[in-house]
């Protein structure tokens, strides 16, 4: 299936289903499909991200991942007050990436289309690139501030992991690249190599704690993660934000397509992770 075919399915879902949600204002494509040509094959490890804009400043819990016409969609709700001006979007490193191309699915008022045109024009201007880098950096600091020794261990790990992962986004945003999630360390390595700073990639892996991890350790952790995922997806009931990511339909993305952080040589940690993931498929 091509990216265009997958997007067409997403558009149809918006028209048939999302448009009926109370307060529906519009919708646009988000995520990695905005960075791929329409005629490219949609990777089996990718979904189509859709943002549904609602007038409600406190929208309901996001639908998350589900299959529609053989396409895995990942749908989120976005309050319209986050899109009041081009400046708000240009300074937000995730939103700006979604508005840099023709991404609008539905826009009865025409306002989203106007915003997209302005953001696309100013997207690469230095002041806005710097603003988005600051946004990513502040996200790192925000997650670090959530670290609290009195909180449950898994909550501490989550805060640390989010903070650590977003360090790659600061670089990707500066390089006008997609601040992707699953492949963030791979993308950051490619960017650093392009600018002749590949040695810094090992520092990113050091922050993540895997720079000196052996191949055997990486394989062991991945196997444990797979077992935990399969056990959790069978019992998960709590409607938390990422609940739909722990499911059979999301497994090709969450587990089967998961690259180890920094999955490309020549750095030592990256080489070990890359080998591990190739063996896992």
**Residue ranges covered by each domain of the chain:** 3-123, 127-280
| Highest mean pLDDT pick, 110-114, 222-226, 231-235 | 110-114
Higher pLDDT, 263 or 177: 177
User: 88 to each of 20, 134, 178, 195, how far by Cα in Å?
Assistant: 27, 13, 18, 29
| Highest mean pLDDT pick, 60-64, 171-175, 244-248 | 171-175
* Phi (first) and psi of residue 243, to 5 degrees: -55, -40
| Band of pLDDT at residue 265, cut at 50, 70 and 90 | very low
**Residue 204 burial (10 A CB sphere; 0-12, 13-18, 19+):** buried
* Phi (first) and psi of residue 13, to 5 degrees: -65, -40
In CATH, the number for domain 3-123 is 3.30.460.10
Q: How high is the pLDDT of residue 258?
A: 53
8 A C-beta contact, residue 195 and residue 211: no
DSSP category for residue 82: G
What percent of the chain has pLDDT above 90? Answer: 77
Report pTM.
0.86
CA distance 194 to 203: 17
């Amino acid at each position: 299936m091509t990216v265009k075919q997958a997007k067409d399915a997403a558009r149809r879902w918006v028209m048939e289903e999302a448009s009926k949600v109370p307060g529906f204002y519009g919708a646009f494509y988000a995520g990695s499909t905005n960075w791929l040509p329409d005629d490219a094959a949609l990777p089996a490890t990718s979904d189509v991200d859709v943002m549904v804009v609602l007038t409600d400043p406190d929208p309901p819990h996001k639908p998350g991942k589900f299959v529609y016409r053989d396409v895995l969609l990942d749908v989120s709700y976005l309050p319209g007050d986050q899109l009041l001006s081009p400046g708000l979007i240009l300074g937000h490193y995730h939103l700006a990436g979604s508005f840099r191309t023709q991404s609008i699915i539905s826009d009865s008022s025409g306002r989203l289309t106007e915003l997209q045109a302005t953001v696309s024009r100013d997207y690469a201007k230095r002041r806005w690139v710097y603003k988005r880098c600051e946004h990513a950096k502040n996200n790192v600091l925000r997650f670090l501030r959530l670290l609290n020794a009195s909180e449950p261990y898994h909550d501490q790990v989550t805060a640390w992991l989010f903070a650590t992962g977003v360090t790659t986004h600061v670089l990707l945003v500066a390089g006008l690249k997609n601040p992707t999630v699953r492949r963030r360390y791979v993308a950051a390595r490619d960017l650093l190599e392009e600018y002749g700073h590949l040695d810094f990639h090992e520092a990113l892996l050091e922050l993540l704690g895997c720079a000196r991890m052996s191949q055997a350790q990486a394989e062991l952790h991945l196997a444990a993660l797979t077992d935990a995922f399969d056990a959790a997806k069978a019992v998960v009931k709590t409607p938390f934000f990422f609940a739909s990511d722990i499911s059979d339909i999301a497994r090709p993305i969450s587990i089967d397509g998961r690259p180890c952080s920094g999955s490309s040589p020549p750095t030592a940690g990256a080489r070990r992770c890359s080998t591990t993931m190739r063996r896992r498929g």
